[in-house]
Amino acid sequence: GKVRAPTHIISTISDDRGEEPCYAGVPMSSIVEQGYGVGDVISLLWFKRSLPRYCTHFIEICIMLCADHGPCVSGAHNTIVTARAGKDLVSSLVSGLLTIGPRFGGAIDDAARYFKDAYDRGLTPYEFVESMKKKGIRVPGIGHRIKRGDNRDKRVELLQQFAHTHFPSVKYMEYAVQVETYTLSKANNLVLNVDGAIGSLFLDLLAGSGMFTKQEIDEIVGIGYLNGLFVLARSIGLIGHTFDQKRLKQPLYRHPWEDVLYTKSLTI
C-alpha cells in the first residue's frame, strides 16, 4: 500500500490544491454564489463550520462597530504617529495593533473567561467582583476612559439589542449586566464596555447556537479567539488613519514640551 511521507505542517482550515481554494471544505465559488459575507468567511476559517445567519450577522456587527473609535485612542494614536514618521502602511498598521491588549480592545477573551467561570460557578456579581478585587485583578470588560453610567457606550446598546432580538438565550450577557449594575454602584466609570459586551455575548452565541460542544466552547475560550474580532475590526480603522495622514501630508509628529511634566522628583 501507499506510504504516507511524514509532513512538517498540519493544516485543517483551507486547501488551495484543487481548481479553486476551499475554506473549511467550502469552495470559493459557493461562497460567492451563495452570497456569503465576511461573517461566514470568519465562521469557516476560525470556527471551521458554517454558522446560522444571525451568528454571522452578529460577527459582522462586531466588526463594523469596532472598526474605529476616532483618532485619540491608543491604537489610532500610534498609527498616526508612525504614518507621520514616514513609515509605510504595514508599519503604521502594526504599530497601532501592538497597543491592543488587556487595557485596550484586547480584554474580550479575558472578559469571556471570567464571566463564564463566575456564571458557571454560580457566583453572585458581588462575590465575583469582590473576589477579583481581593486578587488585585481589574474586571475585564468593565470600565472605560470616557464612557459613564450616564453616558453609555452606544456600541454596547446596539449589540445588546441585536442579541435580545435574535439570540435564543442571553444568560451570560445578563450576568455581565448584573456585574455592571454592581460595579456602577461603586464608581460611575465602571460600565460594561464593548469588550465585555462582545465577550459575554459571544459566550451566549457559542452556547445558544447549538453548533458547539461544551468541550469546543472551552477550547475557544481557552485558546482565546475573541480578541481576534477587535484586531480584525480595528485594522480597518487603522488603515484608514494611515491613508488619512498620508493624504493630508502631515509632518513628523513631535509631542509638545508643554504637555510633559519634566521633574526630577521621584515622589510624583
CB 109 within 8 A of CB 226: yes
Please list, in sequence order, all residues whose beta carbon lies within 8 angstroms of the beta carbon of residue 197, skipping any fewer than 6 positions away: 141, 153, 155, 156, 159, 160, 173, 176
Does 97 contact ligand LMR by CB under 6 A? no
Asked if 145 touches ligand LMR (CB under 6 A), the answer is yes
Specify the residue, 26 or 192, whose C-beta has the smaller distance to ligand ACO: 192
Please, what is the minimum distance in Å from the beta carbon of residue 164 to ligand LMR?
22
The answer to whether residue 145 forms part of the interface with ligand ACO (CB under 6 A) is yes
* Amino acid letter, 218: D
Task: Check residue 194 for interaction with ligand ACO (CB under 6 A).
Answer: yes
Q: At its nearest, how many Å lie between ligand LMR and the CB of residue 212?
A: 27
Q: Is residue 138 a contact point for ligand ACO (CB under 6 A)?
A: yes
**Nearer to ligand LMR among residue 124 and residue 151 (C-beta):** 151
Residue 226 found at the interface with ligand LMR (CB under 6 A): no
CA distance 140 to 37: 30
- How far is Cα 141 from Cα 113, in angstroms, rounded to an integer? 11
Cα dihedral value 48, 50, 54, 57, nearest 10 = 70
96 binds ligand ACO (CB under 6 A): no
* Residue 33, number of CB atoms within 10 A of its CB: 9
- Which backbone phi and psi does 69 adopt, to 5 degrees? -145, 45
- 241 makes contact, choosing from ligand LMR, ligand ACO, none, with CB < 5 to 8 Å by partner type, with none
Output the residue with the shortest Cβ distance to ligand ACO.
143
Give me the least distance between CB of 31 and ligand ACO, in Å please.
30
Secondary structure (3-state) at 212: coil
User: Binding segment for ligand ACO among 116-124, 139-147, 168-176, 219-227 (CB under 6 A)?
Assistant: 139-147
In the list 69, 84, 116, 241, the residue contacting ligand LMR (rule: CB under 6 A) is: 69
| CB neighbour list of residue 118: distance below 8 Å, 6 or more residues apart | 127, 128, 175, 179
Beta strands (DSSP E) in the chain are 14-15, 22-23, 26-27
Question: Using the rule CB under 6 A, is 143 a contact of ligand ACO?
Answer: yes
User: Which residues contact ligand LMR (rule: CB under 6 A)?
Assistant: 69, 73, 145-146, 194
Where along the sequence are the contacts to ligand ACO (CB under 6 A)? 102-105, 107, 138-145, 187, 189-190, 193-196
